[in-house]
Structure 1
């Protein structure tokens, strides 16, 4: 298996786990459990960000181009009307 494939697999798994943590946090009624899940989610988000940055540096991943300010304003006005 190529490094690129492994990195992409790990990113996919971490992204899926972040979704699961968000659902568990939203549905949890126990403050201690919510806090623990939030800490785990935050650590995974940091790991995901760092791995994504490494993937970009190595050319394994190319993020979408940054939106123009005019596009942002257009979408904001569409969403607020």
Structure 2
């Protein structure tokens, strides 16, 4: 039998995979109605992902990575700045 943690993590993985796919579908959609529908679906999945993530975090089912240091953040900003 699946445990709560397994179900939550499986659902989160599915939502995360969907969110990654939406970017490609949205950018390639020529039809404005289709594009708006995809944006709405993505927004709903983002909301569900945040809710499930919060649940997993509160119940000890997920442990996030350590926060980036200010130096690491600055390094990424520098690397991603235009003209670098």
Normalising to structure 1: TM-score of the pair? Answer: 0.90
Query: Measured at CA, do residues 22 and 77 of structure 1 come closer, stay the same or move farther in structure 2, by a change above 3 Å?
Result: closer
Question: Which has the larger helix fraction?
Answer: 1
Q: What is the SS of the residue equivalent to 2:63?
A: coil
Q: 1:75: how far off?
A: 2.7
| Larger CA deviation: 44-53 vs 70-79 | 70-79
**After TM superposition, where is structure 1 displaced by more than 4 Å over at least 4 residues in a row?**
none
Q: How does 1:41-80 map to 2 (within 5 A)?
A: 41-80=42-81
Please list every run of 5 or more consecutive structure 1 residues that lacks an aligned counterpart in the other structure: none
Aligned residue number for residue 39 of structure 2: 38
Q: CA–CA distance in 1 between the matches of 2:79 and 2:28?
A: 31
Please list every run of 5 or more consecutive structure 2 residues that lacks an aligned counterpart in the other structure: none
Q: 1:76: how far off?
A: 2.2
Q: CA–CA distance in 2 between the matches of 1:75 and 1:41?
A: 26
What RMSD over aligned residues (CA atoms) do the two structures have, in Å?
Answer: 1.2
Aligned residue number for residue 6 of structure 2: 5
